[in-house]
Amino acid sequence: MKLLIRAVRIIDPQSPFDGLVRDVLLENGLIRQIGEALPVDEDDSSIQRIEPAGLCLSPGWVDLRVSAKDPGYEHKEDLTTVCRAAMLGGFTDIAVLPNTKPVLDSKDTLGYVRQATQGQAVSVHPIAAITKRAEGQDFTDMIDLHHAGAVAFSDGEQPLTHPDLLLKTLQYLRPFNGLLMNRPEEQNLTHFGQMNEGLSSTLLGLKGMPAMAEEMMIERDLRLLEYLYPQSAGRPAETVLHFSTISTARSVELIRQAKQQGLPVSCDVAAHQLAFTDSDLMGFDTNLKVNPPFRLPADREALKQGLADGTIDAVVSDHNPQDDESKNIEFDHADFGIIGLETAFAVVRTHFPDWPLASLIEALTHRPRQILRLPAHTIDENQPATLTVFDPDVEWTYERTASRSKNSPFFGKTLRGKALWIINKGFVESL
């Protein structure tokens, strides 16, 4: 199969063609040629073409945090629909959380995910649980899970509460250069919490979730990381500890300082955190009930600054499908979560328009790949054709979803920027 992409602007900070408008010829899953006005037989019907003007091409986008719900909660999402939603959002690769039923804590459950998604255009990378059933008690066999294809280890939606558990996990992962992903939340401070603790929660009469619940756990985890990797002992170049979905200004500053000290740490932010603050919950819209919750305007600005200066490594969708029975109820009984795969790129482009496009692409491509230890992909000749074709400036209205669930606050909203094709594993999918 041959595919010719005509006059496309290449957006890839790692590519020698970055910023240039070129033709790109793909064949048998590889980038064969890159050049200006590549000569091809215009009558050759075996060559598929992408020719609309003004499009951009980047390496395939990678999402570090997706709740696929399958196995066990297929009424909310299954592996087929999550791949379709990922594809529509421009993602060629997604890392899926272990919080399924059964939990992804054995070779059998990891094998189920890998086998069920083999024929999909999107590559699905399972994150294995650190503890059995993600209950925070007994360890899983992490070495076996690593060999079975786990790209990282996390209890997913459940933070690692006990410091000894986190420290021992870092030690267990050390021999095979494994990655620990933790969602920072001191749950003893957030029991029954519904939204950010502050003026808005007081006015609404809802129990708040204080920012310090996140910040205390980040401080704790960084202290443990420094204990395990003191400056005198030398530190690994790759990330060892990754914080998922940070949300406060203090969190950004703590991680900024840790990076300046050379600690092997990284972090991400959910795209929707750039769009809302806690005052947007005044209408009790359960589609805005997320964890971590939307914080203050100053926190949102700090997140943008963290992205701008590279403190925050990646943007994630934090795709968390919830059915009507979990969302279309009273606010304090509704489940947390937003579906975000189809809108993540556009939400960032819409709500952070000043962020350079190349930096956004870096946060969706090379940095997530480095964090997960996935093979590096760049746009150059004889490189794998794992690509996303997109229009960074087109305006469109989000009206329908491929997900089984509909819990998004962005329905009916006009957004900027959209993926139009993904190319991966020999698939060429028009979106």
Residues designated catalytic: 318
Interatomic CA distance for residues 7 and 56, integer angstroms: 9
Instruction: State the residue for tokens 């990797």.
Output: 229
What are the structure tokens assigned to 327, written together? 């969302």
Burial class, 11, CB count within 10 angstroms (exposed 0-12 / middle 13-18 / buried 19+) = buried
CB 270 within 8 A of CB 245: yes
Interatomic CA distance for residues 339 and 318, integer angstroms: 7
Interatomic CA distance for residues 43 and 66, integer angstroms: 43
Instruction: Tell which residue, 197, 218, 217, has the closest CA to residue 209.
Output: 197
Q: Are strands 180-182 and 56-59 parallel, antiparallel or unpaired?
A: unpaired
Answer left, alpha or beta for residue 412, where phi above 0 means left and psi between -120 and 50 means alpha: left
Phi/psi of residue 428, each to 5°? -125, 105
Instruction: State the residue for tokens 């594993």.
Output: 425
The DSSP-derived string for 187-237 is GGGTTT--EESSHHHHHHT--EE-HHHHHHHHHHHHHHHHHHS-GGG---S
Residue type, 356: P
